[in-house]
Structure 1
Amino acid sequence: MEEKKELPQLSAEELRVLGSLLEKSKTTPEYYPMTVNSLQSACNQKTSRKPVVSYDENTIITTLDMLKKRGLVSTVVGGGSRVTKYKHNLAIHFPLLPSELAALCLLILRGPLTTGEINSNAGRLYEFETLDEVQELLNKLSTDEPAYVKQLPKRPGQKEARFVHLFGEVNEEDYDVPQMANHNDSQVQVLEDRVAILEEQLHTLRTEFDKLIAELT
């Protein structure tokens, strides 16, 4: 009988880096795998992230090394570029479907969410057809061995129960800070992705230029 894998317990930095790799593999596949520079921008996004962080390059590099040791991230070199890039291996270690990866990605990057919040925010990752489909998926993820998510008890004032991932400790109170509703959140994220792509292109050109100059001198 095949032994069931236990979920790794990841730090906040590991979760943010892994979640960002999961997200960008779907939202900007043309720039995936990711460089350290583009991954730093993805981790520090002001939208679709809770909490908002400001990681420096050393934090990204250190965290990638930790995830590589866990086997959750691997490097890619080649494809016409000399820059080292990174990709996640989550689906290699765990039998997760694209819809399940999408839900977990949202929970990792945004914290506890209701079924409706997962459904409304998943568009660029996976198109769920109904709320019932999301609920069935969460029920499955919470009863799998190992379980990937769990439902939190309703707290005073909450109309719907929220779900959390089980890849690391989640303190529900850390996500209770009120935030202004942003009806243009998806449009802002698209713009942030475009800016990140331009920054990545500029960074790559600078790197290639510096290497060319070094070879000529």
Structure 2
Amino acid sequence: MRPLTVIEARVLGTLMEKARTVPDSYPLSLNALAAGCNQKTSREPLMTVSETEAQEALESLRQLSLVFQSSGSRVARWEHNFQRGVGVPEQSAVLLGLLMLRGPQTAGELRINSERWYRFADISSVEAFLDELSERSEDKGGPLVVKLPRAPGAREQRWAHLLCGPVDMALAQAQAAREPGGAALEQRVAALENEVAQLRSAVASLCRELGMSPPGHTE
């Protein structure tokens, strides 16, 4: 498979996301797809994809057997065919979809960001699928992800997808050096807030079962 363009990757990732997070609205019309590509949340980098550009990307992806048009609707609607087209299991497809939409991430960030797509048991299972994707044999098309150089001050290394071709390691390292006070920090804060919310929900549920007042609750 040839390398994807950045717009093709965004279109494909958006279809993969919406299939799992809003199944009632899936398959997507061209208008809904363009809106999904241009979301201001859960996207890195932010993009402005026109419907014309999205349509051109869909036609190119259809030639690669990665998307297809649904039948039986007055408005053209589109579905992805990523897992079969690329030949990867669901868990690997989830990780690749998130990397296409959100950019490079650590295994921990991928596990948290995948909650609405697929629930991984732990970080080790995420790392196992990433390792498998990075060691993919040439007869299957070669590696699909790569581990990036460690960012200054970071404890974990991030992963990037290779669906758009090789990663410019020098550029990735330069971006990582600028991120601790920006996007990377925001991602970590969002991940921690998500985890705290889940813990609060679990504690509240446990307190209800035990007939106790949640911590901090006042009559």
TM-score bracket relative to the smaller structure: 0.7 to 0.9
1:74 is aligned to 2:71:
no
The residue type paired with residue 165 of structure 1 is: H
Post-superposition CA distance 1:165-206 (Å, at most 9, x none): 1101445256755237364997xxxxxxxxxxxxxxxxxxxx
Say if 1:44 and 1:174 are closer, same or farther in 2 by CA, change over 3 A. farther
Deviates more, 1:59-68 or 1:18-27: 59-68
1:95 is aligned to 2:91:
no
Give the alignment partner of residue 148 of structure 2, picking from 149, 152, 166: 152
Equivalent residues of 1:64, 1:73 under 8 A apart: yes
1:9 is aligned to 2:18:
no
Give the alignment partner of residue 61 of structure 1, picking from 55, 65, 90: 55
The residue type paired with residue 86 of structure 2 is: F
**In 2, Cα distance between the equivalents of 1:56 and 1:150?**
30
Residue 17 (structure 2) aligns with: 23
Once the two structures are TM-superposed, the CA of residue 155 in structure 1 deviates from its matched residue by 3.2
Equivalent residues of 1:113, 1:164 under 8 A apart: yes
**In 2, Cα distance between the equivalents of 1:143 and 1:134?**
14
Equivalent residues of 1:49, 1:110 under 8 A apart: yes
Equivalent residue runs for 1:1-217 within 5 Å: 7-78=1-72, 81-145=73-137, 146-169=142-165, 170-171=167-168, 172=172, 173=174, 177=179, 178-179=182-183, 181=186, 183=190
SS of match in other structure, 1:77:
coil
SS of match in other structure, 1:83:
coil
Post-superposition CA distance 1:56-77 (Å, at most 9, x none): 1111111111111222111112
Once the two structures are TM-superposed, the CA of residue 108 in structure 1 deviates from its matched residue by 0.7
Q: State the percentage of identical aligned residues.
A: 35
Post-superposition CA distance 1:18-70 (Å, at most 9, x none): 00011111111122111101101110011110011111111111111111122
The residue type paired with residue 60 of structure 1 is: A
The residue type paired with residue 139 of structure 1 is: D
Q: Which runs of 5+ in 2 are unaligned?
A: 195-219
| Equivalent pairs, count | 178
Name the TM-score, length of structure 2 as normaliser. 0.75
